[in-house]
Amino acid sequence: MIYLDNAATTLHKPRQVIEAVVEAMSTLGNSSRGLSSCSLKASRTLYETRVKISELFGCPRADNVIFLQNSTEALNTAINGTVFSKDQVITTEL
């Protein structure tokens, strides 16, 4: 698993990130809601992003790339998907 999230630790975002967020908020709809052109554009954007990320990291399938809301959700998803009842997990506070 590769986890990419600098939102919690980086105050200032690069100008390109700010511009991309403004563009998305101005033009995209909810990818899960309906068949409007804005929703379809959002779905295509998400899929294209999954493809690019999977290619970047050598992931064989774009549908193996997931987006989650925060680190807690990401960690819970990873732990619940890989740790079973008789397993032992060793971790640190880091």
Of the pLDDT bands very low, low, confident and very high (cuts 50, 70, 90), residue 49 is very high
User: Residue 8: its pLDDT value, please?
Assistant: 64
Average pLDDT rounded to a whole number, residues 54-75: 89
Q: Does residue 38 sit within a domain?
A: yes
Residue 92 lies in a domain: no
| 65 occurs within a structural domain | yes
Question: Would 34 be classed as within a structural domain?
Answer: yes
User: Is 20 inside a domain boundary?
Assistant: yes
| 53: pLDDT strictly greater than 90 | yes
pLDDT at 12: 79
What is the 3-state secondary structure of the chain? Answer: CCCCCCCCCCCCCCHHHHHHHHHHHHHCCCCCCCCCHHHHHHHHHHHHHHHHHHHHHCCCCHHHCCCCCCHHHHHHHHHHHHCCCCCCCCCCCC
Convert the pLDDT of each residue in 37-48 to its tens digit: 888 999 999 999
* Total structural domains within the chain: 1
pLDDT of 7 above 80:
no
Range of the domain at 58: 15-72
Q: Residue 66: inside a domain, yes or no?
A: yes
